[in-house]
Amino acid sequence: MRFNGKNRLRILFIIGLLVLTGPARAGVHDPSGNGLLLDEAAALKKSQLAIGRTLGNHRFTDTHGQIVTLESLRGKPLVVSLVYTSCFHTCPIITRNVANAVRAGRDALGQDSFNVVTIGFDSPIDTPARMRAYARERQVGDARWFILSADGATMRALANELGFTYFPSPRGYDHLTQTTVIDDQGVIYRQVYGESFAVPALVEPLKELTFGRRASKKNWDGWINGIKLFCTVYDPASGRYKFDYSLFLGLFVGLASFGAVAFFLVRAWRQHRFPERPA
């Protein structure tokens, strides 16, 4: 087949259709012949389209051989981090930054306020034993942080729901550096990108889910959570969240000042409208 101008246009048109309509393909061929490269624009688009999607009740195995389902983790916000244990650079950095954010988030929101799962997506390799070693090396995992393994079919289904792109490459795997925040009903709420994200990038959506949802209740606890939502702020110097009383006091002083001005205006208006008559 001769690749004249007309044929080139036809081929480009077909490739464009495949990219737009094909199933979740985020790889492009590497001209060096080394396989695929991550198409970040396509991967990000796929990831963003996943927001608002409800996750299925997938089954995983923890480092003790116990079954953990996503259904069992509902009722609290959930952080999902996908890694593979053979990675010696990007995945450990992601896990370290997730750990930093989890520590700050639990200090600010409560130790039991959200759950975390780290799942190995290299199913043949990331067995419970390998995931246990990974967690021990990275010093992560606790009563609310589950280190999980899955079979290939489960992993592919979960990755597709999360909008997570990964595929084998000469370096191991190419994948989108994505951490996902799920709400208490299992719905994808926020995507956090990058291996070295800032702590608030992950904690702020958790704060919104923890305090914001509770603040909607029309009772005293709802008012308290509303105050916590606006007055719990991140301090970059300490790397922790703190309750900033100045915001609340500023609001109180502002309202008191407004009330005082309104009182004097009403008083002046009444004196002008109804002047006192001499006795």
Closest Cα partner for 147 from 59, 78, 81? 81
Closest Cα partner for 89 from 174, 179, 198? 174
What residue ranges in the chain does DSSP mark as E strands? 27-29, 36-38, 59-62, 67-69, 78-83, 115-120, 145-149, 166-169, 172-175, 178-182, 188-193, 232-235, 240-243
pLDDT tens-place values along the chain, 279 residues long? 444 554 454 444 434 433 333 333 344 434 334 456 788 899 999 999 999 999 999 999 999 999 999 999 999 999 999 999 999 999 999 999 999 999 999 988 889 999 999 999 999 999 999 999 999 999 999 999 999 999 999 999 999 999 999 999 888 899 999 999 999 999 999 999 999 999 999 999 999 998 876 445 554 454 454 555 555 666 677 777 666 555 555 666 666 677 767 777 777 666 666 666 655
Write down the pLDDT at residue 13. Answer: 42
Amino acid at 191: Q
Q: 6-34 as b/e, with b when 16 or more CB fall inside 10 Å? A: eeeeeeeeeeeeeeeeeeeebbeeeeeee
What are residue 119's phi and psi, to 5 degrees?
-120, 135
Burial category of 44 from C-beta neighbours within 10 Å (exposed 0-12, middle 13-18, buried 19 and up): middle
Q: How far apart are CA 165 and CA 230, in angstroms?
A: 35
Identify the three-state secondary structure at position 272: helix
Identify the three-state secondary structure at position 144: coil
Write down the pLDDT at residue 132. Answer: 97
Cα 17 from chain centroid (whole Å): 31
pTM of model > 0.75: no
